Structure 1
């Protein structure tokens, strides 16, 4: 059995309290109540001030491989916000941002859209050139 991470966060700030991590093999899914007993950071909290999102097993694997850590949950989109180590200065704290894998996915989609728009504009420019050439030919006849 494969179980994805549970991310517990403060409802008012989105700051992550506990990331349970992924588990696989002979494991069982725990309940929220069990987690509040098992994790000190949760047991010290009032349960209705804590939110939780459940990730799929392997979700954000590429981000974790890059050294990303889920630092906060964006309370509007409910997406995890990551911090990544700065390759030049690893000690400098980084501002949480969307997952790099999500940013890459968004950029790929934007690139496809821009290529389609560029192609359409190119076809339109070719059409306009053809129309101008036809008009010029008629004028100079």
Structure 2
């Protein structure tokens, strides 16, 4: 049986024009994506994104604006679901308390996730794993960097 998997992600750009990336290890796979994750039943998109940022980054955020919603078929890399991803530009409303890394997959003991900043003008589609994130990188480069 097929089903939809609704995902919500935040694009957080700091004052140095760097984008926050999440490096993770799950289900035996290493991958890089934007902070965020799956919507829980009964949850709205923005509430889900705020929850994900608190869970993953220990950070309260404010949503600035919608950026992109998947507009093509994408099968999950982990199960038989069809993934629909929604991306928002976000900004922090509380201070960061997590440690940022400079290398991908530089996990602290017992952790399977780490965060790092990447310059917007240097990011490429090779810096993220999933097709929808690669689409977002191209849109970011076109819409934000070319301004």
TM-score of the pair, normalised by structure 2: 0.29
Larger relative CO (CA 8 A, sep 6+): 1 or 2?
A: 2
Query: Greater share of strand residues, 1 or 2?
Result: 2
Which structure: larger Rg? 1
